[in-house]
């Protein structure tokens, strides 16, 4: 059955340079979905526009004023008083409250998408997980029948993070192969078949299950990532750095599997990206 999905990345702050680069992993999953006839959209919030939303002009202006004031205060005193500590904590909380309001707005945007079948959240760090802990319950409350899936480097590098993260999601795909992920997509409405999907963590009313793979440690992935404007709009709004990852060899520490892209396939990907984005900036890993 054809699905319609959102692939969501909400990076934690402060942003790193890599945050602004195209997300090769989500583009790869999107490539597999589209090739199989599914509909999907990448919502990548690692953009310059999101940086401005998280740190609006009013807060940036206040921050500069506070830095100037702090410099004056330090000239007067060599120690930080309790009053200073309390005041600085309030200022930090102001930024945190604002950012949480932005993330809630994203949750409402997801809830408003009535025609989607599942939402996949990429979780690469504990800070990313904290954002999911805020917004995923809001989405689940408003859309109880919408499948919510976790994935990302936090689980791919250490499967020990699966047990405490699983209550957030219906399941967590902790592999990196697009082919394996598509196996879950094909049986997403049949949890009884989830035990056959490699690298999937899920639970029922009794226990938690974590599947692995007996298909060998080397898997080839020849599907092109999808960076088109329809699938990955953030890339075409001049809010991302056009510095692409060409993942020739992907080693996922937790699963022990190695996913390989052939040299010809990697060369084709570079040619395609050079043509469509007029860029020569690539990182081959």
CB-hemisphere CA count at 13 Å for 21?
13
Bridge pairing between strands 244-246 and 282-284: parallel
Residue 201 CA to residue 31 CA, distance in Å, equals 23
Confidence at residue 55, expressed as pLDDT on a 0 to 100 scale? 82
Contact 89, 120 (CB under 8 A): no
Residue 95 CA to residue 80 CA, distance in Å, equals 21
CB-hemisphere CA count at 13 Å for 185?
28
Confidence at residue 257, expressed as pLDDT on a 0 to 100 scale? 57
DSSP assignment, residue 37? Answer: T
Confidence at residue 268, expressed as pLDDT on a 0 to 100 scale? 72
Bridge pairing between strands 200-203 and 147-151: unpaired
Mean pLDDT by 10 residues, the chain (285 residues): 95 86 93 97 95 77 54 52 51 80 96 96 96 97 97 94 96 92 96 94 92 67 87 89 68 55 70 70 65
Burial of 167 (0-12, 13-18, 19+ CB in 10 A): exposed
CB-hemisphere CA count at 13 Å for 175?
26
Confidence at residue 112, expressed as pLDDT on a 0 to 100 scale? 97
Residue 255 CA to residue 252 CA, distance in Å, equals 6
Contact 139, 105 (CB under 8 A): no
């Amino acid at each position: 059955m054809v699905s319609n999905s959102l692939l969501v990345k909400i990076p934690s702050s402060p942003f790193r340079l890599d945050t602004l680069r195209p997300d090769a992993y989500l583009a790869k999953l999107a490539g597999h979905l589209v090739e199989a006839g599914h509909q999907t959209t990448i919502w990548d919030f690692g953009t310059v526009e999101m940086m401005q939303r998280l740190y609006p002009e009013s807060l940036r202006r206040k921050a500069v004023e506070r830095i100037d004031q702090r410099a004056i205060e330090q000239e007067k005193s060599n120690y930080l008083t309790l009053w200073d500590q309390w005041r600085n904590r309030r200022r930090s909380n102001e930024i945190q409250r604002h950012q949480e309001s932005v993330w809630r707005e994203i949750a409402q945007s997801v809830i408003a998408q009535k025609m989607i079948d599942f939402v996949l959240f990429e979780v690469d760090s504990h800070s990313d997980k904290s954002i999911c802990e805020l917004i995923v319950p809001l989405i689940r409350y408003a859309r109880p029948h919408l499948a919510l899936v976790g994935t990302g480097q936090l689980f791919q590098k250490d499967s020990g993070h699966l047990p405490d993260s699983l209550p957030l999601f219906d399941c967590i795909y902790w592999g990196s192969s697009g082919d394996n992920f598509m196996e879950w997509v094909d049986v997403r409405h049949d949890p009884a078949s989830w035990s056959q999907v490699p690298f999937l963590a899920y639970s029922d009313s009794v226990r938690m299950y974590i599947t692995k793979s007996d298909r060998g440690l080397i898997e080839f992935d020849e599907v092109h990532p999808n960076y088109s404007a329809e699938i990955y709009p953030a890339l075409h709004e001049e809010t991302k750095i056009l510095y692409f990852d060409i993942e020739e060899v992907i080693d996922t520490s937790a699963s022990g599997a190695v996913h390989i892209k052939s040299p010809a396939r990697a060369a084709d990907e570079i040619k395609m990206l050079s043509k469509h984005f007029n860029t020569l900036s690539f990182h081959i890993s």
